[in-house]
Chains A and B, each alone.
Chain A
Amino acid sequence: MKIEETKRAFDRIMHELGKVIVGQDEVLKQMTVSLLTNSHSILEGYPGLAKTLAVKTMSDLMDLKFSRIQNTPDLMPSDITGTYIIEETSSGKRNFKFQPGPIFANIVLADEINRATPKTQSALLEAMQERQVTLGTSTYKLEEPFFVLATQNPIEQEGTYPLPEAQSDRFLLKIKTDYPEFKEEVEIVNRYAEEVKKINLKPILKKDNLVYLQNITRQVPIANDLKKYAVQIVGNTRKKKDLIEYGASPRASIGLVLAAKARALMEGRKYVSKTDINVMAYPILRHRIILSFEAERQNMDEDAVIKTILK
Chain B
Amino acid sequence: MAKPISQALSELKRALIEIHALTWILDTLVVFLVSELIFFLTTLPWYYAFIPTGIYSIVHAYHGRKNITYQYVEEKVPRLKEQLMTAADNLDKDYEIVEKLNKDVLEGMKHTMTSYFFSFGKLTRELLFLFVIAFLIIGASAYDVRFLDTHKAIQEIKEFSKSTGEYDVDEAMLEFEEGNPEEDNIYGEKSIAELGNEQLQLELNPVKSDADISKTEEPEYRKFRSTVPREITASTDASYEESIPKGYQKIVKSYFREITKEN
A222, B86: Cβ atoms closer than 8 Å: yes
Q: Give A6's nearest chain B residue, CB to CB.
A: B97
Q: Mark A241-283, 1 if CB is under 8 A from B, else 0.
A: 0000000000000000000000000000011111000000000
Is B151's beta carbon under 8 Å from chain A?
Answer: no
B95 touches A219 (CB 8 A): yes
Report the number of A-B residue pairs with Cβ-Cβ less than 8 Å: 51
Residues of A close to B83: CB separation below 8 A: 270-271
B9 to chain A, nearest CB (A): 13
Select the residue from A219, A220, A224, A271 with max chain B CB neighbours within 10 A. A271
Is B97 in contact with A274, judged by CB distance below 8 angstroms?
no
- A224–B82 alpha-carbon span in the complex (Å): 11
Judged by a CB distance under 8 angstroms, whether A180 is at the interface is no
Determine if B93 is an interface residue (Cβ-Cβ < 8 Å).
Answer: yes
Which chain B residues (22-43) contact chain A, with CB distance < 8 Å?
none
**A22 CA to B260 CA, complexed, in Å:** 125
Tally B residues with Cβ within 8 Å of A.
18
Chain B contact residues, majority secondary structure: helix
Residues of A in contact with B, size category: 10 to 19
Contact A221 B82 (CB under 8 A): no
Q: List residues of B (204-262) whose CB comes within 8 Å of A's CBs.
A: none
A270 to B95, CA, bound (A): 11
Q: Which of A3, A220, A223, A226 neighbours the largest number of chain B CB atoms within 10 Å of its CB?
A: A223
Of the residues A223, A270, A274, contact of B89 by C-beta under 8 Å = A223
A-B contacts, 27 listed (Cβ < 8 Å): A3-B96, A3-B97, A3-B100, A219-B96, A219-B97, A219-B98, A220-B97, A221-B93, A221-B95, A221-B98, A222-B86, A222-B89, A223-B85, A223-B88, A223-B89, A224-B85, A224-B89, A226-B82, A270-B98, A270-B100, A270-B101, A271-B82, A271-B83, A271-B87, A272-B82, A272-B86, A274-B82
**Residues of chain B at the chain A interface (Cβ within 8 Å):** 71, 81-83, 85-90, 93, 95-98, 100-101, 104
Considering the complex of A and B, which 10 residue pairs feature the smallest CB-CB distances, nearest first? A221-B90, A219-B95, A270-B101, A271-B86, A223-B85, A223-B86, A224-B89, A223-B89, A273-B82, A221-B86
